[in-house]
Amino acid sequence: MDHSTNNDDTTISEEGKEGGNIFQYVTTMEEVDGSSSSPNVLAVLAYACIRLAHLSHDAFGDSRASKRLYKLAASCDPNWYSYHGIGTSVEASITQSFSSNEAEGIIWREQMEKAVDAYREASRTCNGEGEVKFHLAVALERLEELEESEQIMETLRRGESNLSCLVDSWGYVRWHTRRTNPYHLNLHRGTRAMLEIALEAAQPLLQYEDGLVCEFGVASGRSCRMTQELLPLNTRIDGFDTFTGLSAFVLFYY
């Protein structure tokens, strides 16, 4: 992959013009009819790009790198998951595109429209995946295309319980962020990026008021380890988990 360019919209075809198959040195799969574009090879490369994109987004907090990788995946083997990833990573990286010499509103709208285009393509190819439609509806609402957004939301409300819960959750987020500049909403950020935001806000409590750092529900300890990496070396972090779920007594008591 060519890292000498900062153009996030570069596609695999543009990057590979001079060097042919840019992944040739990492694959030993047989070519079909002498072609370096074997469907099997492209599918594997697309899968690898998707996995790297998720890692970049969630573990490293780099949504711009994630966006480029999802685009590479879609160029190798177009599928709804790649386009869905493009949409979410575009929304997650919008604030990283702001600069002092351009109006934030113009950049925000341009990027949101790109996210909507990606969600539409994902929705077209996924044959009704509910989460894709939900993200499309939210993006449309943020662009004030309310009629189409509400139609999708109403369909989801009447659908399966997990989808209706998504709609309810968005209502909660919408209400509690009503005074936040919409250009600066941290939607679709990965685990590490959200932890960075939370810990930055908590720094005064940690530095001046001897605050505690606790995580309830550590599971495998993944996010707990991320938190430890982001904290100063001498900061203590306490993690709690039953690993068996809450007891019937606790559930009844609360």
Distances (CA, A) of 130 to 81, 108, 119, 160: 12, 25, 11, 9
Give residue 213's Cα distance to chain centre: 26
* pLDDT at residue 33, as a whole number: 53
Please, which pLDDT band fits residue 10 given cuts at 50, 70 and 90?
very low
pLDDT 10s digits, 29-74: 555 555 555 667 888 889 999 999 999 999 998 999 999 999 999 9
Cα separation, 154 vs 137, whole angstroms: 10
* pLDDT at residue 125, as a whole number: 85
User: Of 34-48, 97-111, 142-156, 233-247, where does the model show the most confidence?
Assistant: 142-156
Percent of the chain, pLDDT > 90? Answer: 42
- Inform me whether the pLDDT recorded for 101 exceeds 90: no
Please, which pLDDT band fits residue 254 given cuts at 50, 70 and 90?
very low
- Inform me whether the pLDDT recorded for 5 exceeds 50: no
* pLDDT at residue 42, as a whole number: 84
Cα separation, 218 vs 111, whole angstroms: 35
* Among the ranges given (12-26, 100-114, 157-171), the one the predictor scored with the smallest mean pLDDT: 12-26
Q: What is the DSSP letter of 30?
A: P
* pLDDT at residue 12, as a whole number: 39
Contact 239, 218 (CB under 8 A): yes
Tokens 């109403």, located at residue: 154
* Among the ranges given (123-132, 148-157, 192-201), the one the predictor scored with the smallest mean pLDDT: 123-132
* pLDDT at residue 8, as a whole number: 52
- Inform me whether the pLDDT recorded for 203 exceeds 80: yes
Q: Which amino acid is at 209?
A: E
* pLDDT at residue 43, as a whole number: 86
Contact 75, 11 (CB under 8 A): yes
End-to-end CA distance of the chain: 53
Q: Which amino acid is at 66?
A: S
Distances (CA, A) of 85 to 35, 47, 101, 115, 185: 28, 12, 29, 9, 18
